[in-house]
């Protein structure tokens, strides 16, 4: 097993955006970026703001374009457009989004109930996708018992890789991660498997790799909270001392992200910028000073008030905690993987 897994940024809707990517790129960066999903249907056109994530990020790292939809013809059409208009490294198809509005349209996680449609999408995409073709899946819709048949399906598809979020669609983000199912995928499939689900720290990354043997790790919420996490994981796997950022460093990151968000958005009021930032600070501030910062930022309505709260709680030399602390709302359902063994 390669000692250093490939590290990917998860495609988180509304938060895995160009301003965040720019901040991550300056602090260690993932090995691979994956866009939030392009919505694909009969009348769809690739969203311009997501296209800019691919075309305007200054990086030498590959960027995968993710799509969500259920019509093979329109998915193929969009894949051709994306590869012709952008330098994307390939196409990823979302088979795991648990949002009721998405599943209600028979897309995302709902596709796991239609194996023949999944096959059609893969087989019709393969001849036209010049780069990598990957799927991101969950282990079933209702039950992990569905994963055995899904593994048989995935093993027969012309894919270059599979990301496995170790929960069912019904479990959303609240349950334990079924690492044993990810390990089964690693053992059974003829292409690399990436593990996903509740990797929020160096210790949980190490444990996930030990329990699954996955070729890569995909990180979402943990990277928003700790933009140095990718570099810290590389250091640990390579036997180097892990850098320990201070709250002052986190303060600088929050201010920088606020500026990036302000420049990117078409905001008429500063309260809109503040509300946009809350999508990120709900993760970043989780557990800091017993949740006081989180509560203050949620009540903020002005940029001055937002910045004042950040300055009060973050502009100091306190060491930034390695592990997020649960506050009952954000990092719920985290799995204790620290004691994992091979």
Tens-digit pLDDT profile for residues 120-144? 999 999 999 999 999 999 999 999 9
- What pLDDT is stored for residue 325 in this prediction? 74
Q: What is the pLDDT of residue 268?
A: 87
Residue 233 has pLDDT above 70, yes or no: yes
Q: Is 226 within 8 Å of 288 (Cβ atoms)?
A: no
> C-alpha angle 78/81/87, rounded to 5°?
120
User: pLDDT band at 329, cuts 50/70/90?
Assistant: very low
pLDDT of residue 315: 97
Q: Indicate the burial class of 339 (C-beta count within 10 angstroms; 0-12, 13-18, 19 or more).
A: exposed
DSSP string for 32-58: EEEPPPEE-STT----HHHHHHHHH--
Overall average pLDDT of the 98-115 stretch: 94
Beta pairing partners, 92: 66, 134
Give me the pLDDT at residue 326, please.
Answer: 60
Of 43-57, 232-246, 313-327, the range with the lowest mean pLDDT is: 313-327
Question: Does the pLDDT at position 336 exceed 60?
Answer: no
Is the separation of the CB atoms in 32 and 58 below 8 Å?
Answer: no
Examine the pLDDT at 1 and tell me if it is beyond 70: no
- Are 216 and 8 in contact by the 8 Å Cβ rule? The answer is yes
pLDDT at 342: 24
Tell me the backbone φ, ψ of residue 59, rounded to 5 degrees. Answer: -155, 155
Distance CA 321, CA 213 (A): 27
Mean pLDDT of 228-241: 96
| Strands 38-39 vs 90-95: parallel, antiparallel or unpaired | unpaired
Specify the fold of 6-237: TIM Barrel (3.20.20)
Residue that the structure tokens 């002005």 belong to: 302
Model confidence band, residue 287 (pLDDT cutoffs 50, 70, 90): confident
Question: Residue 332 pLDDT > 80, yes or no?
Answer: no
Percent of the chain exceeding pLDDT 90 equals 89
Query: Mean pLDDT, to the nearest integer, of 160-174?
Result: 95
Integer Cα distance of 207 and 340 in angstroms: 5
Residue 93 above 80 pLDDT?
yes
Region 73-79 average pLDDT:
98
Report the chain's C-alpha Rg in angstroms. 20
d(CA 57, CA 161): 24
State how far the Cα of 237 lies from the Cα of 219, in Å rounded to an integer. Answer: 16
């Amino acid at each position: 097993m390669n000692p250093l897994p490939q590290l990917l940024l998860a495609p988180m809707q509304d938060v895995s955006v160009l301003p965040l990517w720019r901040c991550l790129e300056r602090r260690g960066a993932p090995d691979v970026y994956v866009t939030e999903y392009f919505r694909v249907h009969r009348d769809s056109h690739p969203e311009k703001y997501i296209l800019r994530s691919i075309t305007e990020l200054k990086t030498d790292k590959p960027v995968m374009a993710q799509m969500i939809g259920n019509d093979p013809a329109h998915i193929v059409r969009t894949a051709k457009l994306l590869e012709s208009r952008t330098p994307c490294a390939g196409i990823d198809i979302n088979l795991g989004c648990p949002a009721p509005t998405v599943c209600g349209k028979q897309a995302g996680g709902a596709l796991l109930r239609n194996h023949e449609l999944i096959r059609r999408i893969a087989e019709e995409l393969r001849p036209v996708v010049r780069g990598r073709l990957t799927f991101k899946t969950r282990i079933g819709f209702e039950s992990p018992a569905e994963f055995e048949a899904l593994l048989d399906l995935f093993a027969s598809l012309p894919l270059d890789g599979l990301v496995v979020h170790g929960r069912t669609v019904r479990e959303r983000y609240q349950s334990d991660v079924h690492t044993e199912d990810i390990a089964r995928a690693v053992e059974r499939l003829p292409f690399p498997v990436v593990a996903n689900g509740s990797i929020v720290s160096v210790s949980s990354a190490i444990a996930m790799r030990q329990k699954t043997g996955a070729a890569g790790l995909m990180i979402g919420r943990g990277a928003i909270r700790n933009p140095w996490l990718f570099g810290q994981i590389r250091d640990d796997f390579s036997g180097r001392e892990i850098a320990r950022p201070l709250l002052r460093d986190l303060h600088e990151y929050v201010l920088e992200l606020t500026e990036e968000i302000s420049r990117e958005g078409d905001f008429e009021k500063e309260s809109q910028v503040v509300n946009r930032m809350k999508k990120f600070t709900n993760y970043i501030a989780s557990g800091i000073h017993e949740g006081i910062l989180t509560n203050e930022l949620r009540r903020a309505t002005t940029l001055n008030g937002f910045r004042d709260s950040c300055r009060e709680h973050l502009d100091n030399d306190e060491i930034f905690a390695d592990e997020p602390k649960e506050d009952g709302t954000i990092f719920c359902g985290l799995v204790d993987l620290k004691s994992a063994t091979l």
